[in-house]
Amino acid sequence: MNTQITDSHCHLDFPDFEGQLDQIVANAAEAGVHRMVTICTRLRNEPSVRAIAEAHAPVFYAAGTHPMSAADEPLASTDELIALAKHPKFVGIGETGLDYHYTSESADIQKKSLRIHIDAARETGLPLIIHARAADEDMARILTEEYRAGAYSCVMHCFSSGATLAQAALDLGFYLSMSGIAAFPKSQEVRDIFAAAPLDRILVETDAPYLAPPPHRGKRNEPAYTAHTARKGAEIFGIDYADFAAQTEKNFDRLFSKAAQATVAT
């Protein structure tokens, strides 16, 4: 298959994939998904996530403290994240962010953790990976405040927030990542937000094992299914699948330049 795409966000260390990673990576390759970024959501799990990336050539990784875990985990430090970023397959900072839907009681520590991750992204030059849920106003404010204090790059992972936050992120030069949510029948509002965004600022992802797109909705998601979301993306933008895939590849390479350079090197 000549049409290649990248799953910019998945969680291959989750128990859902235990003992199956060789097959999962093979399934991805068969679907044209030639790269994937697996995300560590608790820094104490970083060694096992790193090992997955080291064992599988198409897999890169990122690490951070997920906002829903911010109150339960030791607060990360900028230096700790910078040290992790020295690994050749470590390509992003996060995921971090704000989640007021499930964990609004820890909003203060989430904000503190977010700013630490932003600082690490700024220092390393690696993209920040943002999780935002039910926190649009605070998220837009903090991202903008911090950008004015010093530029950094960023992707709004699994974007399903409102149009105002989307525009705030795009105004800062950030990227929006399309997950299986964009293919759900009731997600017209999300599709409209993507359709209004510049095509050169769009990534695709699974967030596997979550949010499987149709025709696999309700089942375990996996990187191979990025192709279903990308086909919906092509439909949203009214272009051929191959053209949409090629553009999202350029976008990924621009944002995740460390992964792009490693891909070229192999």
**Per-residue pLDDT tens for 25-43?**
999 999 999 999 999 999 9
Q: Compute the distance between CA of residue 138 and CA of residue 161 in angstroms, rounded to an integer.
A: 12
pTM: 0.97
Q: Is 1 a residue whose pLDDT tops 60?
A: no
For residue 247 the two structure tokens come to 């553009």
Q: Is 181 a residue whose pLDDT tops 70?
A: yes
Q: What is the pLDDT of residue 263?
A: 77
For residue 130, the cross-strand partners are 96, 156
pLDDT band at 227 (very low <50, low <70, confident <90, very high): very high
Nearest CA among 179, 170, 224 for reference residue 199: 170
**CATH numbers and ranges of domains, the chain:** 5-265 (3.20.20.140)
Q: What is the pLDDT of residue 257?
A: 98
Q: What is the mean pLDDT of the chain?
A: 97
Q: What is the pLDDT of residue 2?
A: 74
pLDDT band at 7 (very low <50, low <70, confident <90, very high): very high
Mean pLDDT value across residues 130-137: 98
Q: What is the pLDDT of residue 57?
A: 97
Contact 90, 66 (CB under 8 A): no
For residue 202 the two structure tokens come to 């769009």
- What amino acid occupies position 118? I
